[in-house]
Structure 1
Amino acid sequence: SSQFSWSLLSCPVAQAGIQIVEKSQQSVPNVPSFSFLHSVLLFHFSIWDFLDAPKPPDEDRFIMPDEFASPKAEGAGRSKRSPINSNRVGGLNVETLVVADRKMLEKHGRENVTTYVLTVMNMVSSLFKDGTIGTDINIVVVSLLLLEQDPLGLTINHHADQSLNSFCQWQSGLVGKGGKRHDHAVLLTGLDICSWKNEPCDTLGFAPISGMCSKYRSCTINEDTGLGLAFTIAHESGHNFGMIHDGEGNPCRRTEGNIMSPTLAGNNGVFSWSTCSRQYLSRFLGTTQASCLVDEPKQIGQYKYPEQLPGQLYDADTQCKWQLGSKAKLCSLEFVKDICKSLWCHRTGHRCETKFMPAAEGTTCGPDMWCRKGHCVKYGEHGPKAIHGQWSPWSHWSDCSRTCGGGVMYRERSCTSPRPQNNGKFCTGSSRLNQLCNTQPCPFNTVDFRAQQCAEYNSKPFRGWYYKWKPYTKVDDEDICKLYCIAEDFDFFFAMSSKVKDGTSCSDHKEDVCIDGMCEAVGCDQILGSRATLDACGLCKGDNSTCKFFKGLYTLQHRANEYYSMVTVPAGARSIHIQEMEVSTSYLAVRSLKRRYYLTGEWTVDWPGMFHFAGTVFEYQRSFNKPESLYTAGPTNETLVFEILLQGRNPGVIWEYTLPRIERKPDYSWGVVRSDCSAPCAGGRISTKAICLQEQKTQVNSSMCNPHTKPTLGSHLCNTQPCPAFWATGDWGSCSRSCGGGQQIRTLRCLRKVTYQREEVVPHSFCPVISPAQVQPCNTESCPPEWSTGSWSQCSKSCGRGMRKRSVFCRSTDPGAKAVVVPDSMCRQHHRPNGQETCVLRRCPRNERLQWIPTVWGEVRLQVDHRFSHQLTPDQSMCGKRSTNRAKWVNSACREEEEVASV
């Protein structure tokens, strides 16, 4: 965080005096944890909604904050800041997203804020164009967002740490046109921020260290203090580039005018970058992280910097108002001579104040005069002439950093003859030249150089305790030149130093060495930066003409869970490469001729990594999505047998290695070795195998011997004892039920293998106690429901044709379970039994077929065979009498009844 300190000039009528008044400062820096969002080009966020920001990956969690705040009583008032890293030359573009919050819009007005922001960013661009930075860096605004209100997912308040955390997360989700992202995001706030609490205090800016180009950490927050905001942005962006404060862990002094000084104050109105800042930047630009700065910027037409100088757009009175409030204006006291070096402002009373910041470039400093490069010159002139830097002579070579094993010595020069001034260009080229020295191997018993450096901490207490330290090198490549040591007999390690001593090997299997904390390439000719390499036979700058190449493919299929030899590689081999053809569950293994395993032996699978054996270092790689491989540049000092521990199908293994061509061919002859027994019981065979021996001592590839003289192989029986008994099962019988749960039964026998092709039945006591199941459930699915009926009811008639009924219902039929009535819809409807039917208990007697039935007046009911007909008659007396035809019918019926009755 940062803030300009200020001084107050009190000027009573009788005497004039200067009183420096400075704000108190508290600094409780916290490490912000950043989570994040992609960039959209817009001006009104009120119409945009964003999803919740995703959390950042774990590797972006550890972030050192910048703390740039006003100092306590340090003389002429300055501004505090905190840590960050540069090394690629020319044409680097920082594509910058600038976001101005709601308070900025309220302060400057919607119609003026865009010009103001671009003016400030133009000043920032000029600072990064200063020759003392040592690199051509362009600050390019590709997106400018003006927030009329806080968008979803972004919280901005007085707490700089929390606000920066929120902003970094939010900006990570913004994307520009065509899906292109910005390289760096700058938040400008009109709030009075504080690094450690949600209240106003002296903090001016906050930034992660070395965050440039990171999706989640390339971001800063900066408090608006007027045009001096440009220096805050430059400082915080410097931290994002990896620059650390001058004088904090580096030899640079806290000099006024240095942009990365812990306190901010101009040096006669001029700001520049220190030697340390330049080195930090060079180191950062030498990393892959800085690759985002190489591409060409897009969308620059919409955000072109103003053509007028800042001081032409905003006069001294306006600059004072921004620094000290709306009542401030340019001080008119006579002692104020040159506002181009320090801008003095007046608020109230007879006193003037300054923040020791110069008036902006182009500010009027007198009649027809303006400020240029810290000087008040005639209007139209560009101020002092630019002085370009020139190199000093090279220094003498330093002492070698090591007495053996390859140390480093160097000589230096500085860009001081003359130094660049007045925006002059910095010297091109390197300021340091390194060279290897004392490259002869160290004596056999010499302690490893990295181990020596760790051992130096044995006599120093670590958190109150003493430990024995040894090197720890299982770190990422970017950390290989830091001194990590692990406490002996304990499981913790620690970075004892940010860099190892010059000349320390980057790794055991490469020639590269660490210089100033960076791993530098070393060619096989022992020259730094050389691209000279060994050929396949180990000859520096060779063309492989002296090599003999051996290649093969092992595709034989075998029984799983056994070791199988694929190729035997003789001593002296180089460029050995063994690789599976596809991902598999099998493992590569390596052993000596004496069956001593170096990798994945005795059924123990080793983790991937570096393995030292046979006089060289093997790199064993195994990944879940890549075929397993093994490689060494060699040479080996003994014959090695490469095997595969087969797990399932052999995926096929490619092998290759080289041997140097030799003029005199050694003597190769066949030898005979016995194999292991092919079976552990029931009669295996031991076979003799011919191997090719060099000078009757060392086994080599069979291709070295004459195949025509290969001895005849034989075999004999071994391990003829019977094998342990085992259970043999028959096929399962049919199920006892078709549904509702039945059982199946199978036979069970105890067998043992007597010979390769014969087995015999033995008592069950010979077999393992736990036997396979003989009974198992089957057809456990439920049976379908069926119709069920109740008993028939009595017939509705005692004689003749009647009806009887019964209940019909659908019920479950699972055996062994209580029947349950279920809905009729669950049974098959076309199989439903009848619920009623006709019935005849007996025939009715004849005299009962016709009878008189009394009825109401005028109605006669005749019942015949249970069927009824009705006949209306005026009087019952019609029966038995002659009458009309109708009466006759009735009469005849009556006679019939009478006849029946008389029978």
Structure 2
Amino acid sequence: MKDSSKRSINSDWKIELPGEFQLAGTTVRYVRRGLWEKMSAKGPTKTPLHLMVLLFHDQTYGIHYEYTVSLNATELEKVSEEQRQPEHLYLWTHSSWQDCSVQCGEGDRRTVVSCMKLVNKSMIPVNDSHCHPENRPLPQVRRCNLHPCQYRWVTAEWNHCSVTCGKGLQRREVGCVYQLQNGSVIPTQDLYCQGGKPPALQSCEGRHCLTVWEASEWSTCSSDCGTGFRNRTVTCTNPQGRCSPYSQPADQEPCEDQSKCYEWKTGDWSKCSSSCGKGLQSRVVQCMHRVTGRHGNDCPAPFRPPTYRPCHQEACNEKVNVNTITSPRLAALTYKCTGDQWTVYCRVIREKNLCQDMRWYQRCCDTCRDFYANKTPRKS
């Protein structure tokens, strides 16, 4: 900023520090915060002030300026007491941009200059008569719609489908036009437009059929063993709700599922195999059809119930007798084996290492004798 006496702020590529400067017969206060700068003066100015902006690479900056002009005595007489109370500041502003003057071929846009009233740091649009006409700034101008006017294809909206039900065709108008600067177009021959001509015909499907039923997926069968029913939802999708009941799909049908017919059946536990001490109980476990009772092999193996379980009776008499022989070799020599008495238990007794007990040895002597024969070391 400088005045006619060559006094200036930020001239000759030198950036001043914020402060107060004497220009144009008044004190100009200069404030700078980063890229934001402000210069203000209460005035009045005695010589013109010049504001110059340095631009880089065609970059534009937002510049806002305000100034007041004193009224002469004749103008003050025209203002009544009611108009001067309270006093407000009226100023011209560039409020918005107008539309481009043309749609092609290079036009311009101009700012809308409006009169504003400054009230409590906010601006309110008022009638232009409140601002002085001699201070009205010229509108700012920008170039716009620089592309040349040209030939181009124009298309109309698609017509209705040729049929109301099933597959049909749709048509639309397609033509070549030349666009003028004012936006109007002139129809011309297709050969002037470049590029492929947009289609004027396409396939379509009418959705207003008399019978348009839609069915959902079937549900699971109501029974997981034997016959049952499964259901689905059937809806009429005709826009007018006109669906023929004679063509309505079924919403229920019979079904059969045998996936969970077989299950494990168990009998009662037997008596404990020993009258004293530890023993075993057994029961029958079978895979059976839960409706017909037939045997099968479709039961889940991981869920098979146990066939044996241990049982406990009162403690046995501690007096030493033939039932307390602890030496397997002595038992094999002193006991006359006539065969296994409880065949159903002997395999489990051998697996559980119970042959050392003479009570079990007597009942499963064949199995236990063979077991100890394999475990007794041979003499060299």
Rg bigger for which structure?
A: 2
**For the superposition of Structure 1 and Structure 2, which TM-score range results when normalised by the shorter chain?**
under 0.3
TM-score (norm 1): 0.13
Return the structure number with greater strand share. 2
